Amino acid sequence: MPLTDKFGRPITDLRLSITDRCNYKCVYCRTGNEGALYGDLPFEDYLRMARVLVGLGIQKVRLTGGEPLLRKGVVEFVQELEKLNPQNSDPLDLALTTNGHLLADLAQPLKDAGLNRVTVSMDAVDPDRFARITRVPGGYEHMLAGIRAARRAGLWPLKVNCVLMRGFNEDQIIPFGMFAREEGVIVRFIEFMPLEEDRTWSPTTVVTLDEILARMSEYRPLVEIPHARSETARRYRFDDGIGEIGIIAPVSHPFCGHCSRIRITSDGKIRTCLFSVWDHDLYGQMQRGASDEELAEFIRGVVMKKEARHHIGEPDFVPASRTMVHIGG
Ligand code: SAM
């Protein structure tokens, strides 16, 4: 029986955080004051969790963090994940989200180990602005080298995620359209969500899907591309067929009804929604000596508690019990 929640949503997509440390301090994410709060686990523990979840119907595993490339041994971990066999007998779809800072040297080894795809976070097409957002000087060249190395290694499709935050980078929309066309990458704009440590979010800081589309259309007309129901991004290509962009609009156009995701934090807790106000201690079950069958039963029970939707911007909104860096985006 595939993993399904009580609303009938099939759960096929695992986001696995392998550290909550990060070498960047992006304004929409970390305060810069705190590093790891929860710590991380040996890879063999994550591997066991992933194996049980793949046995339950997970088809995609995305490694995230914190910054996942800070973990020594990540290449060998990918090699082990690659050996897992999903129920549908297609190979496991293995992806990684990274800030790209350490990617230049790791792209080819990760590809050789079995990684299929990578998403690089990049919030400005300009070194100075990039440094203002990440609060780390000199990162732009490393990140760009990482993107180019990933493309050379065949980590494809290559996506670039840009969180737009009013007052910081909303003027970067058209430069990113040009970047997508020139570099042959898919640029995805993400609406800013209230998951940051600085607690600066308000509805007015969000640059919405409608605004992004209007601005980009001043540069070149866009044509919408049909997207899969469970895909988070609405997809568009430019009218001449060169360059693709995506918009992930959880605030203005929520897609919770099609959510297929489950998350495991770096300390081994299951989170059923980015905006969960509690988590479920999978690692605790392992420490108590649970068998794989018992872990599977625990996971099925947790998935049944998956939230119907988030409540961003509503009067009853309660902030998530962890910020993004400690969940794994
Ligand atoms: N360190 C990696 C990176 O930079 O991609 C992986 C972890 S990061 C938390 C994962 C993704 O979450 C990034 O694409 C980042 O831009 C996004 N993110 C972080 N905080 C966010 C927020 N408040 N709203 C929307 N997206 C956010």
pLDDT attached to residue 329: 85
Going by C-alpha positions, the residue among 121, 116, 114 that lies closest to residue 98 is 121
Q: How far is residue 62's CA from residue 72's CA, in Å, rounded to a whole number? A: 17
Full DSSP string of 199-265: ----GGGB--HHHHHHHHHHHS-EEEE---TT-SEEEEEETTS--EEEEE-TTTS--GGG--EEEE-
pTM beyond 0.85, yes or no = yes
Residues 6+ apart with CB under 8 A from 150: 100, 103, 107, 118, 120, 158
Residue 221 in tokens: 């007309």
CATH architecture for segment(s) 13-326: Alpha-Beta Barrel (3.20)
The pLDDT of residue 258 is: 92
Q: If you measure from the C-alpha of residue 216 to the centroid of ligand 1, how many angstroms do you get, rounded to a whole number?
A: 22
What percent of the chain is modeled with pLDDT above 90? 91
- pLDDT bin (cut points 50, 70, 90) of residue 227 is confident
Confidence label for 6 from pLDDT (cuts 50, 70 and 90): very high
Mutate to test the pocket of ligand 1, among 67, 121, 193 (most ligand atoms within 8 A of CB): 121
Q: What does the pLDDT look like over 112-142, one tens digit per residue?
A: 999 999 999 999 999 999 999 999 999 999 9
- Residue 79 bridge partners (DSSP): none
**% helix, strand, coil for the chain, step of 5:** 35, 20, 45
pLDDT at 36: 85
Residues 63-76: what's their mean pLDDT? 97
pLDDT tens digits, residue range 241-268? Answer: 999 999 999 999 998 999 999 999 999 9
Substitution candidate for ligand 1 out of 123, 163, 188, 266 with most atoms within 8 A of CB: 163
Q: Which atom of ligand 1 is nearest to the CA of 123?
A: 16
**pLDDT at position 24:** 96
**Alpha carbon separation from 228 to 26, 63, 94, 225, 232 (Å, rounded):** 30, 22, 18, 10, 9
Residue 74 has pLDDT above 80, yes or no: yes
Q: Looking at ligand 1, which residue's alpha carbon is closest to its atom 5?
A: 98
Please report, for the chain, the start and end positions of each structural domain, with discontinuous segments joined by +.
Answer: 13-326
pLDDT value, residue 133:
95
Compute the half-sphere exposure of residue 323: CA atoms within 13 Å on the CB side of its CA.
23
The Cα-based distances of 30 to 21, 23, 47, 57, 325 in angstroms read 10, 10, 28, 33, 7
Q: Ligand 1 centre from 305 Cα, in Å?
A: 25
pLDDT on residue 88: 78
pLDDT value, residue 72: 97
